[in-house]
Each structure stands twice: as structure tokens, then as C-alpha cells.
Structure 1
Amino acid sequence: MSIFEIPVSTLSGAPDALGPLKGEVLLVVNVASRCGLTPQYAGLERLQGKYADRGFSVVGFPCNQFGGQEPGTSEEIATFCSATYGVSFPMCEKVDVNGAGRHPVYEALTGHADADGQAGDVQWNFEKFLVSGDGEVLARFRPATEPEAEVVTSAIESALDRRQA
């Protein structure tokens, strides 16, 4: 099953958050509002603005599993993201990315290894997965990798070039 077919709601509670994005290249990121890495929202939003017209979208998944750094309600998270970082990319419901309650989207993603060959649990907030328009995981970037790092942008551009070929 492709991640585009896995049921997940938007942050506002609408069903089928990922289905309408099928065919687009996605950068799926577990996010948190009270993390030292939270400023990465700015870079994620710049990626959204730079590549959206080419069939790309960042997708945020709030997660409170790392140090309790995303304790807010859906409304509080939405307000923070909009007011603080001008987030325009889709935000999904708060999920668990690790453990027994791991959301099925993350079940599908975490089997993919990073550049060092390590698969498995998400390490911390702001881990990033690049996904093709047909749901194939193309790359995994650990939390410390900035959204606009050359390794990320070159992978996005390559995926978009393949999508348009």
C-alpha cells in the first residue's frame, strides 16, 4: 500500500490528507513547536515556496514523542505554525512515529535507510523522508540535516526531474 492510500487526517480533522497529494514529490517531516530544531520550519516553508509549482509539497506530522516538545492541541499547533513561520504546507494530525502506536505512514517510511545505511526508529523531531509521487521512499535525512542543505535540495530536484520526464 502506498502512503497516499494510508488514512490520515489533516491537522484540522479533514480525512484523506495524503490522497490529494498523490503524484507529487513529498518531503514528510515529523515536527514539533518547542524543539531546538523548530526554526527548521522556516527552511521547510522556503522549500515549499520554491518547488510547489513543480509538483512538490512538504507535509508536516506533529509528534510529541521527543521530550514532550509538541504538547499543543491541533488548533494551538496550527496557530503557532501560521503565526510564527507562515506555514502554508499541509499539516497532518499529531501522530506517534515510533513504538507500538507508530502511525502506519511511519511504518512505511521507517523501513528506509538513511545515507549511512541505518533504518528503523525516527531519531528526533524534524527527521525528513523524501517520497516520490508513487509513494516510493527515495531518501531519508536525519534531524540535524537542514531542510535547505545541498543534499536535500539536490535530492528534491532530482526527484522532480524524474517526475517531469
Structure 2
Amino acid sequence: MKQMAFQTGDRVVLPPYGIGVVSGTCQRPVAGQSHAYYQVDFPNTSSRAYVPVSSPDETGMRAALTACDMPALLGHLSLSTNDLNLPRQWAARHRRVTEILVSGDPYELATLTGELRRWNVERGLPDLDRQAFRRAIKLLEQEVNGLEDQCAHDVQNFLDLAWKETPQ
């Protein structure tokens, strides 16, 4: 999943902003010196980010998931593999959930989504946990969107179902 060199047209993730597309590289002056940057455009917005070519990993930029990654992602979403053990105390849980959302790690997001889904079905979620749950789903949907693989469709169906579920 880790990639250091990106090409024009590559789908990338720049946490916490989501999916973008590398539209090229450019030179930009910083402190009187010219540095090379990837120009990342975010679809359906006018937002743009510039990420240093020399160290994209320091910004958290990574290649977006591909169809090959979908089986593992689906495994992390399933209820049987969740071992996140979120703290029951709200402040500690909020801190951990925020770390996961900001990290943008798709497998941690999937595990978080599965765990919060289980909580939602069992007893419902408090407002801030529900907001985190929906944010995690949206970030995962961005990664899966556009992939035309059966497993990607299974992931999308899982996320759609989780979004609509209510406590029993």
C-alpha cells in the first residue's frame, strides 16, 4: 500500500481531506528556494493541495486503495474481526476515534466502522459517536467509489447498510 513516487492521474489519499488526484508537479518558492510539489486536486471541489515530492509520506499522502485491497478491507469491516476495544469513557474514546479519523488508515477506519456499527445496532450511538461513525463511512466510501470489482460492490453495500441501520 505504501508508494513514494506518484504519477499524474494517480488516485491518492491525503488525510484528513480524503481522495484526490495527482494532477502533476510544480515548482513553488519557499524561503527563497524552489521546491518540487505534487499538485493534488480534489474531485467535485475547487480544493487543491501541494505536497512535497521529497516527502509525501510526512504529510500522510498515500496511494488510494485498489480492487486488490477490497477483500482485506471487507474483512476489517466484518463484525468478527473487530478488536479495536474502544474505551467506554467518552473523553478517551473521543481521543482514540479522532486519531483514527485523522490518520486516514483505511483498515483502522474499517475496524472503527465495524465496531461503531455493532454499538449502533446493540444500543444506539450518542451524537458525537454517530458523527464519527458517519465520517468514517464517508471516508471509506470515497476510497471504494469508482472501483468496479465485485468485492468493492460488497464493501459499498456493507457501508450503505451500516449508514441506514438503526438500533434494535
**Which bracket does the TM-score occupy, shorter chain normalised?**
under 0.3
TM-score by length of 2: 0.27
- Larger Cα Rg: Structure 1 or Structure 2? 2
Structure having the larger proportion of residues in helix: 2
Structure having the larger proportion of residues in strand: 2
